[in-house]
Amino acid sequence: MQVKALVKGTVQGVGFRPFVYRIASELKLKGYVKNIGRGVELVLDGSKSRISAFFTKLRNSSPPLVTIEDVSSSEGTFGNYNSFKILRSSGVATSVSIPPDVGICDDCLRELYDESNRRHNYWFITCTNCGPRFTMTRELPYDRETTTMSQFKMCSDCEMEYTDPLNRRHHAQTIACHKCGPNLQLVDIHGNELPASDQIKKTAELLNRGKIVAIKGIGGIHLTCLASDDKAIGRLRERRRRPQKPLAIMARDMDTVKSFAMVSATEEKLLKSWRKPIVVLRRSNHYWLSDKLSPGLKTIGVMLPYTGLHYLLLDHTKGPIVMTSANLPDEPTIKDDEQAMAKLANIVDYFLLHNREIYNRCDDSVIRVVQEKLVFLRRSRGYVPEPVEVADAGETILALGAELDNTFCIAKDGKAYPSQYIGDTSNLDTFNGLKESLSKFQGLIGASKFDSIVCDLHPSFNTTRLAKELAEKYGCRLVQVQHHFAHLASCMAEHKLEEATGIVCDGYGYGLDGKAWGGEVITARGNAFNRIGHLEYQPMIGGDVATKKPVRLAVGILSKFMDANEIAGTVAASKDEVRVWLKQLETGFNVVESSSCGRFLDAVSALLGVCYERTYEGEPAIKLENLALSGKEYIELPVKITRENDSYVLETTGIFKALVESLDSPPEDLALSVHHALAVGLARIAEKSKSRNICFTGGVASNELFNRFLAEEITGIKTQTKVPCGDGGISLGQAFSISLDKAHQ
């Protein structure tokens, strides 16, 4: 009997054809397998029972990177075969996607440490199941020639493996060895090579001696130093002008991780998965690394090694190492050698570089596990360019996201492809990085033109301006979507909803009334949305300056029930400062009204003396949450909801006043209680919508306590687990709003 089948999904560049070849050969089936435009086609010739055994194996034991979305098959007569063969590709790939970069697999790891293997100690060991993919691919179809491996001519040994269908490196485009593959250079800041027989071992020695080394990786360059070395970390922070922002680390193995952090089963699984993200863990009582890694926080961002180089390096370092993206403030991560030498010479002591080009920049992904669910703080390496399935809008859409933590997203044929992490697009270099990544991404996704381009409602974001330019260039429609509706739509996209109510809490988004929104309850039916409630507006004295100096936010609220003397006696500000600010409030000069949940938490953070000055995004609220995590007692805070202009308003002045009156209580209890009061109040407003689909999203939705309290208030509350709830998820929501538009018509 003969059967012809078409397999769709992630089936190219993932060792799928050799896998098919192997199981067909084992079962003594004849026929062929080949890549075609729509997926992989195969013909099987053999007995019915063997063919059915083949399909069982196909489903149950496919390689880790293969995702089979659909198998359609039919019986018939398809020719004469006397063996099983892998045939050449035909047609241009249209609905296949290249996989994300994959952490080193167990087989390669075994070979790395096997003295008899010819790749023993080879730092760039990979196979069909592991290694870089997205970051090195220039265009489709995925082939050696279309990747940044094209410059390395295979040696005869590698070539033999590459062409042998039974070899586990058959058609592995990253195939390389000591003889023919990329190699390392260890240089000082003047570019002089350091004499060393083993550059990785030498690098480890430098780190052990307190040096800072820039190390080129898969999707960019990392800054590294010993994670237990206070002095080195202090120097790194000083040189980089980053006094407080948490630094991620890399630890050799799970035992090491467990020596300083608490790890749940879900977290362990995530750490060990081939995607190898940074997972934000709680420090344990035995924490022994430097306190300077995450000042003021109880958490630490950890990842496991994901390349041969990482393993070989950590074999020789005295414990875990800092592994933070090499960039200057707000600029994109550096990925090219020359740029690294030019920009990092004042920060690092040495460079460990290699001669393989990184084509697509891709930072490490950062994930937190909250209530046993994944919360993406950054979705990048190991995940991009994997699509999120969405309703097919019947057109090709480009969504450009917001401003901070930017990602863009291309949607077509029922799939939305969120980009890698881009960053703060108000920075010109990062904005240029966005444009560059976009044109590269278009090539990989096969989107040469767009029907709709979507951006934020904010009139002066760089992304808004770019959207207008591109809409003109492509002669297509431009759609502007309100920031918090885009957050909600992103959550609706993940849960395939057309109707929902969203509690959207974040830092800042341009509101329909031109004010600064950020603590919103929104109902949506299709793309028609209604803001049914929000946090009370509070003044931001000095506008954006207040975001950096949260004590101003506190003063803004205190001014509603205290005079200058009382205020100066309550928060860390002089009477003179307070008087100037009160004057400003009176005249309204440069005072912005904000309903932001993030800003209110910032004000509380300043009131409780947790954080007066913000040195990184979200710092005051993140530190407040960390404090609240050790809270035990609830302090009664008023949850009062009033009606104003057809909206429910959760009064925050009353909550703040009650906090001031309880300042003699333990600050951790106050911090805990304020989270609880806000969650209860927002839940009460959301419940008024009577919707069965209540979503919680926005940057604040990464907060563990809000998630816990909202889950207590609202059964089945929906959160985001596929893209960030913060502004990194905005682009998906913008793209999905077009589908919602269609659904509504």
Binding residues vs Fe ion (CB under 5 A): 506, 727
Contact residue for Zn ion among 3, 40, 58, 177 (CB under 5 A): 177
Burial class (CB in 10 A: 0-12, 13-18, 19+), 68: middle
Dihedral over Cα of 424, 430, 435, 441: its sign: negative
Nearest to 351 by CA among 509, 586, 188, 574: 188
Amino acid at 256: T
Beta bridge partners of 222: 215, 325
Q: Which of Fe ion, Zn ion, none does residue 179 bind (CB under 5 to 8 Å by kind)?
A: Zn ion
Residues 466 and 464: their CA atoms lie apart, in Å, by 5
Nearer to Fe ion, 505 or 649 (CB): 505
Burial class (CB in 10 A: 0-12, 13-18, 19+), 535: buried
Site stretch for Zn ion (CB under 5 A), options 106-114, 258-266, 514-522, 616-624:
106-114
Residue 180 makes contact with Zn ion by CB under 5 A:
yes
Nearer to Fe ion, 31 or 699 (CB): 699
Residue 723 to residues 26, 365, 377, 487, 691, Cα–Cα distance (Å): 40, 11, 8, 11, 23
Chain position whose Cβ is nearest to Fe ion: 506
Nearer to Fe ion, 111 or 625 (CB): 625
Q: Which of Fe ion, Zn ion, none does residue 727 bind (CB under 5 to 8 Å by kind)?
A: Fe ion
Residues 437 and 682: their CA atoms lie apart, in Å, by 38
Beta bridge partners of 415: 389, 412
Residue 155 makes contact with Zn ion by CB under 5 A:
yes
Kindly state the smallest distance separating residue 264's Cβ from Zn ion, in Å.
28
Nearer to Zn ion, 122 or 417 (CB): 122
Kindly state the smallest distance separating residue 17's Cβ from Zn ion, in Å.
17
Nearer to Fe ion, 123 or 529 (CB): 529
Site stretch for Zn ion (CB under 5 A), options 62-70, 100-108, 395-403, 681-689:
100-108
Residues 12 and 35: their CA atoms lie apart, in Å, by 7
Helix axes 48-60, 16-26, angle to 10 degrees: 140
Nearer to Fe ion, 281 or 730 (CB): 730
Nearer to Fe ion, 203 or 731 (CB): 731
Site stretch for Zn ion (CB under 5 A), options 152-160, 282-290, 325-333, 679-687:
152-160
Kindly state the smallest distance separating residue 520's Cβ from Fe ion, in Å.
10
Q: Which of Zn ion, Fe ion, none does residue 177 bind (CB under 5 to 8 Å by kind)?
A: Zn ion
Residue 108 to residues 103, 175, 183, 640, 682, Cα–Cα distance (Å): 10, 11, 18, 60, 51
Residue 14 makes contact with Zn ion by CB under 5 A:
no
Contact residue for Zn ion among 11, 33, 86, 108 (CB under 5 A): 108
Kindly state the smallest distance separating residue 597's Cβ from Fe ion, in Å.
10
Residue 158 makes contact with Zn ion by CB under 5 A:
yes
Kindly state the smallest distance separating residue 279's Cβ from Zn ion, in Å.
22
Contact residue for Zn ion among 5, 130, 204, 289 (CB under 5 A): 130
- Residue count of the chain, please give it: 745
Nearer to Zn ion, 167 or 665 (CB): 167
Residues 585 and 578: their CA atoms lie apart, in Å, by 10
Nearer to Fe ion, 337 or 506 (CB): 506
Q: What is the DSSP string of 636-659?
A: P----EEEETTEEEE-SHHHHHHH
Kindly state the smallest distance separating residue 515's Cβ from Fe ion, in Å.
15
Site stretch for Zn ion (CB under 5 A), options 132-140, 175-183, 192-200, 222-230:
175-183
Site stretch for Zn ion (CB under 5 A), options 2-10, 157-165, 358-366, 716-724:
157-165
Kindly state the smallest distance separating residue 506's Cβ from Fe ion, in Å.
4
Nearer to Fe ion, 598 or 667 (CB): 598
Nearer to Fe ion, 214 or 492 (CB): 492
Kindly state the smallest distance separating residue 215's Cβ from Zn ion, in Å.
21
Amino acid at 714: I
Residue 7 makes contact with Zn ion by CB under 5 A:
no
Residues 99 and 12: their CA atoms lie apart, in Å, by 8
Residues 406 and 425: their CA atoms lie apart, in Å, by 7
Contact residue for Zn ion among 24, 105, 309, 564 (CB under 5 A): 105
Task: Give ∠ CA 364-370-371 in degrees, rounded to 5.
Answer: 150
182 and 174 in contact (C-beta within 8 Å)?
no
Beta bridge partners of 483: none
Q: What SS3 class is residue 419?
A: coil
Q: What is the DSSP string of 21-36?
A: HHHHHHTT-EEEEEEE
Amino acid at 610: V
Token pair listed for 380: 């990048």
Nearer to Zn ion, 124 or 260 (CB): 124
Kindly state the smallest distance separating residue 621's Cβ from Fe ion, in Å.
13
Nearest to 541 by CA among 586, 608, 508: 586
Residues 360 and 101: their CA atoms lie apart, in Å, by 11
Nearer to Zn ion, 104 or 610 (CB): 104
Site stretch for Zn ion (CB under 5 A), options 119-127, 291-299, 441-449, 509-517:
119-127
Q: What SS3 class is residue 684?
A: helix
Kindly state the smallest distance separating residue 124's Cβ from Zn ion, in Å.
11
Cβ atoms within 10 Å of 438's Cβ, excluding its own? 18
Residues 6 or more apart in contact with residue 463 via CB below 8 angstroms:
400, 401, 402, 403, 406, 408, 425, 434, 455, 456
Site stretch for Zn ion (CB under 5 A), options 101-109, 224-232, 295-303, 362-370:
101-109
Quick note: the x/- pattern for Zn ion over 46-85, rule CB under 5 A, is ----------------------------------------
Nearer to Fe ion, 277 or 502 (CB): 502
Token pair listed for 54: 């083949």
Kindly state the smallest distance separating residue 155's Cβ from Zn ion, in Å.
4
Nearer to Zn ion, 158 or 650 (CB): 158
Site stretch for Zn ion (CB under 5 A), options 68-76, 126-134, 572-580, 587-595:
126-134
Task: Give ∠ CA 684-687-692 in degrees, rounded to 5.
Answer: 150
Kindly state the smallest distance separating residue 377's Cβ from Fe ion, in Å.
13
Q: Which of Fe ion, Zn ion, none does residue 130 bind (CB under 5 to 8 Å by kind)?
A: Zn ion
Residue 127 makes contact with Zn ion by CB under 5 A:
yes
Nearer to Zn ion, 108 or 390 (CB): 108
Cβ atoms within 10 Å of 286's Cβ, excluding its own? 10
Kindly state the smallest distance separating residue 538's Cβ from Fe ion, in Å.
18
Q: For the chain, how many helices (H) and strands (E)?
A: 23, 30
Q: How many residues bind Zn ion (CB under 5 A)?
A: 10
Quote helix, strand, coil % in the chain, to nearest 5: 35, 25, 45
Beta-sheet pairing, 2-10 with 39-45: antiparallel
Kindly state the smallest distance separating residue 113's Cβ from Zn ion, in Å.
13
Q: Which of Zn ion, Fe ion, none does residue 109 bind (CB under 5 to 8 Å by kind)?
A: none
Nearest to 593 by CA among 517, 504, 509: 517
Residues that bind Zn ion (CB under 5 A): 105, 108, 127, 129-130, 155, 158, 177, 179-180
